[in-house]
Amino acid sequence: MSIDLRFSCCDAGEKSSYLVRRYIFLDSEADTGCYIDKHIPEGSCTLIFNFKGEVNMSLYCSPDQKLPNYFLVLPYLGFVNVKAALPIDTFGVACKASVFSAFFGITFDDFETQSYRMIEDVIPQELYEQLRGACSHEMRIKIFEDFLSAKKKREYAPDQIDLAYEFIYSSNGLVHINELISKLNLNSRSFRRNFFQRVGVSAKSLCRIVRANQVLNTLKESNEIDFQSVVYSGKYFDQPHFVNDFRKFIGESPGTFFSRDLQIVKVFSGL
């Protein structure tokens, strides 16, 4: 299937890498039509600025919700159904969730069962209008980084929650939380409470999200699934454990998911 969507991304530069993982760009040439599939969260919180078209989302068995022009995608343990009406012109900023909450002085613990958050309290409408008027990807990055520079009062110093968050990513989610707490010499109860407030999911849930995305990235170009290899590399107990965990997170069995057309899923999820 040929799709009229252009997806591109670039890693954050030195100026914003303390907060930003990458910048995402999505646009289309066609003015009519729509695409429907899933967004699979990968553990970041992502600012989405939609300048054209209309995007609706829903969680499992819930009605569609029309998304605002700009919002924050949250770490979420599960898939999100997305319907995007053309034309599309979207700018995304994938951020480190623990740093984002600390930098902007907000918490995510009130959004445990939600996949996105309204963000007007920290991102002004003026920034949205400036980004919409930009004539290139490079200009949008510059506008956003200038906004960050104006907000930043001092160099950002990562704390223990940030270190734990990044360790989970660097280990592909293959870390025992009690071992991580011991490694960082943290109080277990305080760590779990503070991590949840700063990231929006528990450390254990983030491990599941990151591990599932590692599996997706490993298998997305493969013509067949080597279950034994996935179980071993992902440190699952056995094949049923992997299949059950995958189904809970993706909403489909691995066999069904990887046998269908994944072009739209990859675009919506940045895979």
Q: Tell me phi and psi for residue 198, to 5 degrees.
A: -80, -30
Question: What is the sign of the dihedral through the CA atoms of 112, 210, 257 and 221?
Answer: positive
DSSP 3-state percent helix, strand, coil across the chain (nearest 5): 40, 20, 35
Helix (H) or strand (E) run with residue 27 in it: strand 20-27
Question: What is the sign of the dihedral through the CA atoms of 246, 247, 250 and 253?
Answer: positive
Amino acid, res. 242? F
CA distance 69 to 118: 10
Burial 115-148 (b: 16+ CB within 10 A, else e): bbbebeeebeeebbebbbebeebeebbeebbebb
pLDDT by residue for the chain (271 residues), tens digit each?
A: 667 888 999 999 999 999 999 999 999 988 888 999 999 999 999 999 999 999 999 987 778 899 999 999 999 888 999 999 999 999 999 999 999 999 999 999 887 778 899 999 999 999 999 999 999 999 999 999 999 999 988 899 999 999 999 999 999 999 999 999 999 999 999 999 999 999 999 999 999 999 988 888 877 666 677 778 888 888 888 888 888 888 888 899 988 988 888 889 989 988 7
Q: What's the chain's average pLDDT?
A: 91
CA distance 63 to 111: 18
Q: How far is CA 261 from CA 24, 221, 264, 265, 266, in A?
A: 22, 12, 8, 8, 10
Token pair of 97, please? 């969730």
pLDDT in tens, 183-200: 999 999 999 999 999 999
Instruction: Note the pTM of the prediction, 2 decimals.
Output: 0.93
pLDDT in tens, 50-77: 999 999 999 877 788 999 999 999 998 8
